[in-house]
Amino acid sequence: MIQASRVVVCVFDGLRPDMVTPDRMPHLAGFIAGGRSFPEARTVFPSMTRVATSSIATGAFPSRHGIVGNAFYYPEVTRDFVLDVSKAEDIALAEERLGGKFVTADTFADVLAHAGKSVAVVHSGSPGSTYAINPRVAQNGHWTFSVLGTRHTRTPSAVEDMVARFGPLPPRTLPRFDEIDYATRIMTDWVIPEMAPDVALVWFNEPDTSFHYRFLGSEETRAVMRSADNAFGRILEAIRLRPDADDIAVLVASDHGQISSSGEVDLAALLTEAGHPAAMAAQRDLSGMALAVTGGNMGEIRVLDGDLERRDRVARWLMAQEFTGMVFTPSEDPVQGTVPGTFSHRLVGLDHGRQPELVYVLRSNLDDDAHGLPGLGLITGSVPVGGGMHGGLNRHELNTVLALGGHAAITPGVHAGAAGVIDIAPTILDLLGVSAPASMQGASLLQLGDQPGGPVETFTAGECDFRQELTLRRRNGVTFAQHGQRRA
Protein backbone atom coordinates (compact mmCIF):
# COMPACT_ATOMS: atom_id res chain seq x y z
CA MET A 1 0.00 0.00 0.00
CA ILE A 2 1.24 3.46 -0.90
CA GLN A 3 0.40 6.19 1.56
CA ALA A 4 1.27 9.71 0.48
CA SER A 5 1.79 12.60 2.88
CA ARG A 6 0.25 14.86 0.26
CA VAL A 7 -0.91 14.86 -3.35
CA VAL A 8 -0.07 17.48 -5.99
CA VAL A 9 -2.20 17.40 -9.15
CA CYS A 10 -1.24 19.34 -12.31
CA VAL A 11 -3.84 19.58 -15.07
CA PHE A 12 -2.94 20.92 -18.51
CA ASP A 13 -6.18 21.87 -20.22
CA GLY A 14 -6.62 20.26 -23.64
CA LEU A 15 -3.15 18.70 -23.79
CA ARG A 16 -2.88 15.80 -26.23
CA PRO A 17 -0.59 13.02 -25.02
CA ASP A 18 0.92 12.52 -28.48
CA MET A 19 2.17 16.11 -28.31
CA VAL A 20 4.07 15.54 -25.04
CA THR A 21 7.49 14.86 -26.55
CA PRO A 22 10.96 15.52 -25.07
CA ASP A 23 11.54 18.42 -27.47
CA ARG A 24 8.18 20.11 -26.84
CA MET A 25 7.73 19.42 -23.10
CA PRO A 26 10.93 17.96 -21.60
CA HIS A 27 9.92 18.09 -17.91
CA LEU A 28 6.53 16.50 -18.48
CA ALA A 29 7.84 13.91 -20.95
CA GLY A 30 10.59 12.99 -18.47
CA PHE A 31 8.13 12.71 -15.61
CA ILE A 32 5.81 10.45 -17.60
CA ALA A 33 8.68 8.25 -18.80
CA GLY A 34 9.96 7.86 -15.24
CA GLY A 35 6.58 7.35 -13.56
CA ARG A 36 3.47 5.19 -13.95
CA SER A 37 1.76 6.15 -17.16
CA PHE A 38 -1.62 5.42 -18.71
CA PRO A 39 -1.14 6.07 -22.43
CA GLU A 40 -4.67 4.94 -23.37
CA ALA A 41 -6.38 7.18 -20.81
CA ARG A 42 -9.68 8.62 -21.96
CA THR A 43 -11.91 11.49 -21.02
CA VAL A 44 -15.70 11.29 -20.94
CA PHE A 45 -18.26 12.34 -23.53
CA PRO A 46 -18.91 15.17 -24.30
CA SER A 47 -15.13 15.74 -24.22
CA MET A 48 -15.56 19.26 -22.88
CA THR A 49 -13.91 21.05 -19.99
CA ARG A 50 -16.83 21.45 -17.54
CA VAL A 51 -18.09 17.92 -18.20
CA ALA A 52 -14.60 16.43 -17.80
CA THR A 53 -13.84 18.57 -14.75
CA SER A 54 -16.98 17.24 -13.08
CA SER A 55 -15.84 13.71 -13.91
CA ILE A 56 -12.36 14.42 -12.51
CA ALA A 57 -13.98 15.77 -9.34
CA THR A 58 -16.61 13.04 -8.86
CA GLY A 59 -14.83 10.02 -10.36
CA ALA A 60 -18.02 9.41 -12.35
CA PHE A 61 -19.56 9.80 -15.79
CA PRO A 62 -22.10 12.53 -16.63
CA SER A 63 -24.83 9.92 -16.03
CA ARG A 64 -24.05 10.39 -12.32
CA HIS A 65 -22.72 13.96 -11.96
CA GLY A 66 -25.33 15.60 -14.18
CA ILE A 67 -23.14 18.15 -15.99
CA VAL A 68 -24.19 16.82 -19.40
CA GLY A 69 -22.59 19.59 -21.48
CA ASN A 70 -20.54 22.77 -21.27
CA ALA A 71 -23.93 24.32 -21.94
CA PHE A 72 -27.28 22.52 -21.74
CA TYR A 73 -30.95 23.33 -21.66
CA TYR A 74 -32.41 22.68 -18.26
CA PRO A 75 -36.01 23.86 -17.92
CA GLU A 76 -36.12 23.14 -14.17
CA VAL A 77 -33.66 26.03 -13.80
CA THR A 78 -34.79 28.30 -16.64
CA ARG A 79 -36.85 28.02 -19.82
CA ASP A 80 -35.57 31.37 -21.13
CA PHE A 81 -32.12 30.35 -22.32
CA VAL A 82 -29.62 27.49 -22.42
CA LEU A 83 -27.57 27.30 -19.23
CA ASP A 84 -23.92 28.13 -19.85
CA VAL A 85 -21.85 26.24 -17.30
CA SER A 86 -18.89 28.59 -17.83
CA LYS A 87 -20.83 31.56 -16.40
CA ALA A 88 -20.85 32.35 -12.68
CA GLU A 89 -24.39 33.79 -12.86
CA ASP A 90 -25.80 30.68 -14.57
CA ILE A 91 -24.21 28.42 -11.97
CA ALA A 92 -25.54 30.61 -9.17
CA LEU A 93 -29.04 30.41 -10.67
CA ALA A 94 -28.83 26.61 -11.00
CA GLU A 95 -27.50 26.22 -7.45
CA GLU A 96 -30.32 28.40 -6.11
CA ARG A 97 -33.09 26.56 -7.99
CA LEU A 98 -31.66 23.11 -7.22
CA GLY A 99 -30.80 23.68 -3.57
CA GLY A 100 -27.06 23.38 -4.17
CA LYS A 101 -27.34 20.11 -6.11
CA PHE A 102 -26.11 21.20 -9.53
CA VAL A 103 -23.35 18.57 -9.44
CA THR A 104 -25.29 15.45 -8.43
CA ALA A 105 -22.47 13.26 -7.04
CA ASP A 106 -19.94 13.63 -4.23
CA THR A 107 -16.53 14.95 -5.21
CA PHE A 108 -13.15 13.86 -3.88
CA ALA A 109 -13.04 17.21 -2.10
CA ASP A 110 -16.40 16.53 -0.39
CA VAL A 111 -15.08 13.17 0.81
CA LEU A 112 -11.79 14.68 1.98
CA ALA A 113 -13.63 17.44 3.85
CA HIS A 114 -15.53 14.78 5.79
CA ALA A 115 -12.18 13.15 6.59
CA GLY A 116 -10.86 16.48 7.88
CA LYS A 117 -8.44 16.96 4.96
CA SER A 118 -7.60 20.17 3.13
CA VAL A 119 -7.78 20.92 -0.60
CA ALA A 120 -6.26 23.96 -2.34
CA VAL A 121 -6.93 24.70 -6.02
CA VAL A 122 -5.09 27.23 -8.19
CA HIS A 123 -7.19 27.73 -11.32
CA SER A 124 -6.92 29.74 -14.51
CA GLY A 125 -10.09 28.62 -16.31
CA SER A 126 -13.64 29.96 -16.48
CA PRO A 127 -15.76 30.39 -13.32
CA GLY A 128 -17.58 27.19 -14.33
CA SER A 129 -14.44 25.07 -14.54
CA THR A 130 -13.16 26.60 -11.32
CA TYR A 131 -16.50 25.81 -9.67
CA ALA A 132 -16.76 22.22 -10.94
CA ILE A 133 -13.48 20.96 -9.50
CA ASN A 134 -14.77 21.66 -5.95
CA PRO A 135 -18.39 22.89 -6.18
CA ARG A 136 -18.90 22.99 -2.40
CA VAL A 137 -15.50 24.57 -1.66
CA ALA A 138 -16.84 27.06 0.90
CA GLN A 139 -18.93 24.49 2.81
CA ASN A 140 -15.96 22.12 2.70
CA GLY A 141 -13.72 24.73 4.32
CA HIS A 142 -11.37 24.46 1.32
CA TRP A 143 -9.54 27.11 -0.73
CA THR A 144 -9.87 27.89 -4.44
CA PHE A 145 -7.82 30.67 -5.98
CA SER A 146 -8.53 31.97 -9.48
CA VAL A 147 -5.89 33.85 -11.45
CA LEU A 148 -8.82 35.65 -13.14
CA GLY A 149 -10.18 37.38 -10.04
CA THR A 150 -12.61 37.20 -7.13
CA ARG A 151 -15.68 36.67 -9.35
CA HIS A 152 -14.18 33.43 -10.69
CA THR A 153 -14.16 31.58 -7.36
CA ARG A 154 -16.53 30.87 -4.47
CA THR A 155 -13.72 31.64 -2.00
CA PRO A 156 -12.88 35.19 -3.15
CA SER A 157 -10.73 35.87 -0.07
CA ALA A 158 -8.17 33.47 -1.62
CA VAL A 159 -7.72 35.96 -4.46
CA GLU A 160 -7.58 38.98 -2.13
CA ASP A 161 -4.96 37.28 0.05
CA MET A 162 -2.76 36.26 -2.89
CA VAL A 163 -2.95 39.69 -4.52
CA ALA A 164 -1.86 41.23 -1.21
CA ARG A 165 1.09 38.83 -1.16
CA PHE A 166 2.08 38.48 -4.83
CA GLY A 167 0.86 41.70 -6.42
CA PRO A 168 -1.79 42.48 -9.04
CA LEU A 169 -3.28 39.67 -11.11
CA PRO A 170 -1.64 39.32 -14.53
CA PRO A 171 -3.02 40.87 -17.72
CA ARG A 172 -4.97 38.58 -20.06
CA THR A 173 -2.81 37.82 -23.09
CA LEU A 174 -2.90 35.19 -25.81
CA PRO A 175 -1.05 32.85 -25.39
CA ARG A 176 -1.60 32.98 -21.64
CA PHE A 177 2.06 33.24 -20.59
CA ASP A 178 1.43 35.64 -17.71
CA GLU A 179 -1.42 33.61 -16.21
CA ILE A 180 0.72 30.46 -16.29
CA ASP A 181 3.52 32.29 -14.53
CA TYR A 182 1.29 33.82 -11.84
CA ALA A 183 -0.49 30.54 -11.10
CA THR A 184 2.89 28.79 -10.87
CA ARG A 185 4.21 31.37 -8.39
CA ILE A 186 1.15 30.81 -6.17
CA MET A 187 1.89 27.08 -6.25
CA THR A 188 5.67 27.23 -5.73
CA ASP A 189 5.89 30.17 -3.31
CA TRP A 190 2.70 29.70 -1.29
CA VAL A 191 0.59 26.57 -1.70
CA ILE A 192 3.38 23.94 -1.71
CA PRO A 193 5.73 25.42 0.92
CA GLU A 194 3.38 27.42 3.17
CA MET A 195 -0.19 26.11 2.97
CA ALA A 196 0.92 22.51 2.49
CA PRO A 197 -2.63 21.18 1.95
CA ASP A 198 -3.40 17.46 1.70
CA VAL A 199 -4.27 18.02 -1.98
CA ALA A 200 -2.91 20.89 -4.08
CA LEU A 201 -4.30 21.08 -7.61
CA VAL A 202 -3.23 23.53 -10.29
CA TRP A 203 -5.21 23.87 -13.52
CA PHE A 204 -3.40 25.54 -16.43
CA ASN A 205 -5.72 26.96 -19.12
CA GLU A 206 -3.05 26.20 -21.72
CA PRO A 207 -2.42 24.72 -24.20
CA ASP A 208 -6.23 24.61 -24.66
CA THR A 209 -6.69 28.31 -25.37
CA SER A 210 -3.82 28.50 -27.84
CA PHE A 211 -4.93 25.28 -29.55
CA HIS A 212 -8.34 26.90 -30.13
CA TYR A 213 -7.19 30.30 -31.36
CA ARG A 214 -3.55 29.88 -32.48
CA PHE A 215 -3.88 26.31 -33.87
CA LEU A 216 -2.42 23.06 -32.59
CA GLY A 217 1.05 22.93 -34.09
CA SER A 218 1.86 26.64 -34.47
CA GLU A 219 4.99 28.37 -33.18
CA GLU A 220 3.01 30.36 -30.60
CA THR A 221 1.38 27.20 -29.32
CA ARG A 222 4.74 25.45 -29.08
CA ALA A 223 6.01 28.42 -27.08
CA VAL A 224 3.15 28.27 -24.58
CA MET A 225 3.57 24.49 -24.26
CA ARG A 226 7.22 25.13 -23.34
CA SER A 227 6.03 27.72 -20.83
CA ALA A 228 3.55 25.27 -19.24
CA ASP A 229 6.28 22.63 -19.18
CA ASN A 230 8.66 25.06 -17.49
CA ALA A 231 5.93 25.76 -14.92
CA PHE A 232 5.68 22.02 -14.24
CA GLY A 233 9.47 21.88 -13.77
CA ARG A 234 9.26 24.71 -11.21
CA ILE A 235 6.50 22.86 -9.33
CA LEU A 236 8.57 19.65 -9.22
CA GLU A 237 11.50 21.69 -7.90
CA ALA A 238 9.32 23.25 -5.16
CA ILE A 239 8.25 19.73 -4.15
CA ARG A 240 11.88 18.51 -4.11
CA LEU A 241 12.72 21.22 -1.56
CA ARG A 242 10.18 19.87 0.95
CA PRO A 243 11.34 17.62 3.79
CA ASP A 244 8.59 15.10 2.87
CA ALA A 245 9.41 15.24 -0.86
CA ASP A 246 9.67 11.46 -1.19
CA ASP A 247 6.19 11.01 0.28
CA ILE A 248 4.43 13.53 -1.97
CA ALA A 249 2.58 11.93 -4.88
CA VAL A 250 2.30 13.86 -8.14
CA LEU A 251 -0.48 13.22 -10.64
CA VAL A 252 -0.46 14.87 -14.08
CA ALA A 253 -3.49 14.93 -16.32
CA SER A 254 -5.35 16.67 -19.08
CA ASP A 255 -9.14 16.96 -19.25
CA HIS A 256 -9.49 16.16 -22.99
CA GLY A 257 -7.50 16.49 -26.21
CA GLN A 258 -8.27 18.51 -29.33
CA ILE A 259 -8.47 18.08 -33.09
CA SER A 260 -8.18 20.75 -35.78
CA SER A 261 -11.24 22.16 -37.49
CA SER A 262 -11.51 21.74 -41.25
CA GLY A 263 -14.72 23.60 -42.07
CA GLU A 264 -17.84 25.19 -40.67
CA VAL A 265 -21.51 24.18 -40.70
CA ASP A 266 -24.26 26.69 -39.85
CA LEU A 267 -26.39 24.09 -38.12
CA ALA A 268 -29.06 26.40 -36.72
CA ALA A 269 -29.68 27.95 -40.16
CA LEU A 270 -29.85 24.54 -41.83
CA LEU A 271 -32.27 23.18 -39.22
CA THR A 272 -34.43 26.29 -39.58
CA GLU A 273 -34.47 25.86 -43.36
CA ALA A 274 -35.53 22.25 -42.85
CA GLY A 275 -38.60 23.44 -40.95
CA HIS A 276 -37.29 23.38 -37.38
CA PRO A 277 -36.73 26.96 -36.14
CA ALA A 278 -33.49 26.62 -34.18
CA ALA A 279 -31.37 28.91 -32.00
CA MET A 280 -27.77 28.35 -31.00
CA ALA A 281 -27.29 28.45 -27.22
CA ALA A 282 -25.05 31.52 -27.35
CA GLN A 283 -28.03 33.63 -28.52
CA ARG A 284 -29.52 33.41 -25.01
CA ASP A 285 -33.00 33.86 -26.49
CA LEU A 286 -35.30 31.00 -27.40
CA SER A 287 -38.50 32.90 -28.18
CA GLY A 288 -40.30 31.50 -31.22
CA MET A 289 -37.88 28.57 -31.50
CA ALA A 290 -38.63 24.86 -31.80
CA LEU A 291 -35.06 23.74 -31.05
CA ALA A 292 -32.18 24.87 -28.82
CA VAL A 293 -28.79 23.75 -30.13
CA THR A 294 -25.35 23.82 -28.54
CA GLY A 295 -22.31 23.91 -30.77
CA GLY A 296 -18.60 23.38 -31.23
CA ASN A 297 -17.97 20.12 -33.05
CA MET A 298 -20.88 18.38 -31.30
CA GLY A 299 -23.80 19.39 -29.20
CA GLU A 300 -27.24 18.72 -27.91
CA ILE A 301 -30.50 19.45 -29.68
CA ARG A 302 -33.43 20.08 -27.35
CA VAL A 303 -36.97 19.95 -28.66
CA LEU A 304 -38.38 22.80 -26.61
CA ASP A 305 -42.00 21.59 -26.56
CA GLY A 306 -40.90 17.97 -26.07
CA ASP A 307 -42.57 16.83 -29.33
CA LEU A 308 -41.05 13.38 -29.88
CA GLU A 309 -42.25 13.18 -33.46
CA ARG A 310 -40.19 16.29 -34.22
CA ARG A 311 -37.23 14.73 -32.39
CA ASP A 312 -37.48 11.68 -34.67
CA ARG A 313 -37.69 13.83 -37.80
CA VAL A 314 -34.67 15.90 -36.74
CA ALA A 315 -32.69 12.72 -36.00
CA ARG A 316 -33.49 11.30 -39.45
CA TRP A 317 -32.64 14.65 -41.06
CA LEU A 318 -29.27 14.68 -39.26
CA MET A 319 -28.45 11.15 -40.43
CA ALA A 320 -29.18 12.22 -44.02
CA GLN A 321 -26.62 15.08 -43.89
CA GLU A 322 -23.08 14.55 -45.16
CA PHE A 323 -21.65 16.69 -42.33
CA THR A 324 -23.11 14.50 -39.55
CA GLY A 325 -20.69 12.11 -37.88
CA MET A 326 -22.68 10.49 -35.08
CA VAL A 327 -26.16 10.75 -33.54
CA PHE A 328 -27.33 9.67 -30.06
CA THR A 329 -30.80 9.45 -28.51
CA PRO A 330 -31.93 8.33 -25.04
CA SER A 331 -32.83 4.66 -24.80
CA GLU A 332 -33.17 1.82 -22.30
CA ASP A 333 -31.04 -0.26 -24.68
CA PRO A 334 -27.33 -0.11 -23.81
CA VAL A 335 -26.27 0.33 -27.46
CA GLN A 336 -29.07 1.34 -29.84
CA GLY A 337 -30.87 4.66 -29.43
CA THR A 338 -34.65 5.04 -29.54
CA VAL A 339 -34.53 6.40 -33.08
CA PRO A 340 -33.34 3.61 -35.44
CA GLY A 341 -29.77 4.26 -36.62
CA THR A 342 -28.75 6.28 -33.54
CA PHE A 343 -26.67 5.14 -30.58
CA SER A 344 -28.01 5.16 -27.01
CA HIS A 345 -26.87 7.81 -24.52
CA ARG A 346 -26.19 4.87 -22.21
CA LEU A 347 -23.36 3.69 -24.46
CA VAL A 348 -21.38 6.83 -23.57
CA GLY A 349 -22.50 7.40 -19.97
CA LEU A 350 -24.77 10.32 -20.77
CA ASP A 351 -28.03 8.82 -19.44
CA HIS A 352 -28.78 11.35 -16.69
CA GLY A 353 -32.20 12.82 -15.91
CA ARG A 354 -30.92 15.97 -17.63
CA GLN A 355 -30.08 14.13 -20.87
CA PRO A 356 -31.03 15.87 -24.13
CA GLU A 357 -33.43 14.40 -26.70
CA LEU A 358 -30.66 14.32 -29.28
CA VAL A 359 -26.89 14.59 -29.40
CA TYR A 360 -25.02 15.08 -32.67
CA VAL A 361 -21.31 14.89 -33.43
CA LEU A 362 -20.03 16.48 -36.64
CA ARG A 363 -17.87 14.40 -38.96
CA SER A 364 -14.23 13.97 -38.06
CA ASN A 365 -11.42 11.70 -39.22
CA LEU A 366 -7.80 10.84 -38.49
CA ASP A 367 -6.27 12.80 -41.38
CA ASP A 368 -3.36 15.17 -40.71
CA ASP A 369 -3.97 18.87 -40.10
CA ALA A 370 -1.84 21.68 -41.56
CA HIS A 371 0.89 20.99 -38.98
CA GLY A 372 0.96 17.22 -39.56
CA LEU A 373 -1.06 16.31 -36.46
CA PRO A 374 -3.77 13.68 -36.98
CA GLY A 375 -7.40 14.61 -36.33
CA LEU A 376 -9.63 16.85 -38.44
CA GLY A 377 -13.29 17.68 -38.02
CA LEU A 378 -16.11 20.08 -38.80
CA ILE A 379 -17.36 22.76 -36.38
CA THR A 380 -20.45 24.95 -36.02
CA GLY A 381 -18.24 27.99 -35.37
CA SER A 382 -16.89 29.53 -32.13
CA VAL A 383 -13.24 29.32 -33.28
CA PRO A 384 -11.65 30.21 -36.62
CA VAL A 385 -11.54 27.35 -39.14
CA GLY A 386 -8.16 25.66 -38.62
CA GLY A 387 -8.40 26.23 -34.87
CA GLY A 388 -8.64 23.36 -32.44
CA MET A 389 -11.91 21.94 -31.11
CA HIS A 390 -13.07 19.16 -28.80
CA GLY A 391 -16.29 17.71 -27.48
CA GLY A 392 -16.63 14.74 -29.80
CA LEU A 393 -15.43 11.15 -29.85
CA ASN A 394 -12.36 11.32 -32.07
CA ARG A 395 -9.51 9.45 -30.37
CA HIS A 396 -7.43 12.64 -30.31
CA GLU A 397 -10.19 14.44 -28.42
CA LEU A 398 -10.72 11.54 -26.01
CA ASN A 399 -7.11 10.53 -25.30
CA THR A 400 -5.73 12.36 -22.26
CA VAL A 401 -2.46 12.76 -20.41
CA LEU A 402 -2.47 10.64 -17.24
CA ALA A 403 0.56 9.68 -15.14
CA LEU A 404 1.61 9.26 -11.52
CA GLY A 405 4.98 9.77 -9.90
CA GLY A 406 6.87 11.70 -7.27
CA HIS A 407 6.26 9.39 -4.32
CA ALA A 408 9.26 7.08 -3.89
CA ALA A 409 7.07 3.94 -3.67
CA ILE A 410 5.26 4.53 -6.95
CA THR A 411 6.94 2.06 -9.28
CA PRO A 412 7.55 3.10 -12.89
CA GLY A 413 5.50 1.22 -15.44
CA VAL A 414 2.97 1.40 -18.22
CA HIS A 415 -0.69 0.45 -18.00
CA ALA A 416 -1.93 0.55 -21.59
CA GLY A 417 -5.35 -0.85 -20.72
CA ALA A 418 -8.52 1.04 -19.93
CA ALA A 419 -8.10 4.10 -17.68
CA GLY A 420 -9.36 7.63 -17.65
CA VAL A 421 -10.23 10.89 -15.97
CA ILE A 422 -12.80 9.09 -13.77
CA ASP A 423 -9.87 7.33 -12.07
CA ILE A 424 -8.33 10.57 -10.77
CA ALA A 425 -10.65 11.10 -7.77
CA PRO A 426 -10.41 7.49 -6.50
CA THR A 427 -6.61 7.68 -6.90
CA ILE A 428 -6.33 10.87 -4.85
CA LEU A 429 -8.45 9.29 -2.10
CA ASP A 430 -6.46 6.04 -2.19
CA LEU A 431 -3.16 7.92 -1.93
CA LEU A 432 -4.45 9.60 1.23
CA GLY A 433 -5.86 6.40 2.72
CA VAL A 434 -9.50 7.50 2.39
CA SER A 435 -12.05 5.10 0.89
CA ALA A 436 -13.93 6.11 -2.22
CA PRO A 437 -17.74 6.37 -2.10
CA ALA A 438 -19.84 3.92 -4.14
CA SER A 439 -20.85 6.75 -6.50
CA MET A 440 -17.31 6.80 -7.93
CA GLN A 441 -17.14 4.61 -11.06
CA GLY A 442 -13.41 5.02 -11.54
CA ALA A 443 -10.72 2.94 -9.83
CA SER A 444 -7.51 3.86 -8.07
CA LEU A 445 -4.67 3.94 -10.59
CA LEU A 446 -2.49 2.41 -7.87
CA GLN A 447 -4.50 -0.81 -8.21
CA LEU A 448 -3.95 -1.17 -11.99
CA GLY A 449 -0.92 -3.28 -12.82
CA ASP A 450 1.28 -3.06 -15.90
CA GLN A 451 -0.76 -4.08 -18.92
CA PRO A 452 0.13 -4.07 -22.61
CA GLY A 453 -3.34 -3.03 -23.71
CA GLY A 454 -6.59 -4.88 -23.79
CA PRO A 455 -9.40 -5.96 -26.06
CA VAL A 456 -11.58 -3.34 -27.68
CA GLU A 457 -15.19 -3.79 -28.74
CA THR A 458 -16.72 -2.03 -31.70
CA PHE A 459 -20.41 -1.19 -31.94
CA THR A 460 -22.21 0.01 -35.01
CA ALA A 461 -25.55 1.63 -35.73
CA GLY A 462 -27.02 3.04 -38.88
CA GLU A 463 -29.94 3.58 -41.17
CA CYS A 464 -30.03 3.99 -44.98
CA ASP A 465 -26.64 5.40 -46.07
CA PHE A 466 -25.66 6.46 -42.57
CA ARG A 467 -23.37 4.18 -40.54
CA GLN A 468 -21.56 5.10 -37.34
CA GLU A 469 -19.21 3.10 -35.15
CA LEU A 470 -17.86 3.43 -31.65
CA THR A 471 -14.93 1.51 -30.22
CA LEU A 472 -14.70 1.09 -26.46
CA ARG A 473 -12.78 -0.72 -23.75
CA ARG A 474 -14.38 -2.28 -20.68
CA ARG A 475 -13.00 -2.54 -17.19
CA ASN A 476 -15.10 -4.08 -14.40
CA GLY A 477 -18.39 -3.07 -15.97
CA VAL A 478 -17.25 0.47 -16.78
CA THR A 479 -16.76 1.45 -20.42
CA PHE A 480 -14.21 3.89 -21.81
CA ALA A 481 -14.99 5.24 -25.28
CA GLN A 482 -11.86 4.93 -27.44
CA HIS A 483 -12.84 6.36 -30.79
CA GLY A 484 -16.03 7.03 -32.69
CA GLN A 485 -16.68 8.07 -36.26
CA ARG A 486 -18.96 7.78 -39.23
CA ARG A 487 -18.21 4.90 -41.57
CA ALA A 488 -20.35 5.75 -44.55
Under the rule (CB under 5 A), what is the footprint of Zn ion?
A: 13-14, 49, 208, 255
Judge contact between 480 and 421, C-beta under 8 A. no
Closest CB 274 distance from Zn ion, rounded Å: 32
Minimal distance, residue 341 CB to Zn ion, in Å = 31
CA 252 to chain centre: 14
* Residue (14 or 295) nearer to Zn ion, CB: 14
Measured torsion, CA atoms of residues 9, 14, 15, 17, in degrees rounded to the nearest 10: 100
Cβ-based nearer residue to Zn ion, 188 or 258: 258
- Cβ distance to Zn ion smaller for residue 49 or 324: 49
Residue 360 pairs in a beta bridge with 299, 327
CA angle 329, 334, 336 (to 5 degrees): 50
The least CB distance from residue 375 to Zn ion, in Å, is 16
Distance CA 114, CA 459 (A): 41
The whole-angstrom separation of Cα 357 and Cα 106 is 26
Between 103 and 432, CB nearer to Zn ion: 103
Per-residue exposure over 80-118, b if at least 16 CB sit within 10 Å of its own CB, e if not: ebbbbbbebebbebbbeeeeeebbbbbbbbbbbbeeebb
Residue 15 or 238 having the CB closest to Zn ion: 15
The SS3 call for residue 132 is: helix
Q: Residue number with the shortest CB distance to Zn ion? A: 49
Q: Measured from the CB atom, is 54 or 427 closer to Zn ion?
A: 54
Distances (CA, A) of 430 to 42, 108, 112, 424, 477: 20, 10, 11, 10, 20
Encoded amino acid at 178, one letter: D
Alpha helices in 167-207 (DSSP H): 177-186
- Residue 307 CB, nearest approach to Zn ion (Å): 34
Q: In terms of CB distance, is 11 or 137 closer to Zn ion?
A: 11
Q: Which is nearer to Zn ion, 49 or 63 (CB)?
A: 49
Residue 259: CB minimum distance to Zn ion, A: 13
Strand order in the sheet with 466-475: 457-463, 466-475, 478-486
Return the closest-CA partner of residue 142 out of 201, 83, 71: 201
Cross-sheet strand order for the sheet of 36-37? 143-146, 119-123, 199-204, 6-12, 248-253, 402-405, 36-37, 413-414
Closest to Zn ion by CB, 129 or 479: 129
| 3-state percent breakdown (helix, strand, coil) of the chain, nearest 5 | 35, 25, 45
At closest approach, how far in Å is the CB of 367 from Zn ion? Answer: 23
Instruction: Quote the CA–CA distance of 248 and 187 in Å, as a whole number.
Output: 14
Task: Provide, rounded to whole angstroms, the least separation between the CB of residue 13 and Zn ion.
Answer: 4
- Between 201 and 327, whose beta carbon lies closer to Zn ion? 201
Question: What is the smallest separation between the CB atom of 215 and Zn ion, expressed in angstroms?
Answer: 17
- End-to-end, the C-alpha distance of the chain in Å comes to 49
What is the nearest approach in angstroms of Zn ion to the Cβ of residue 208? 5
Tell me how far, at minimum, the Cβ of 162 lies from Zn ion, in Å: 23
Helix (H, G, I), strand (E, B) or coil at 65: helix
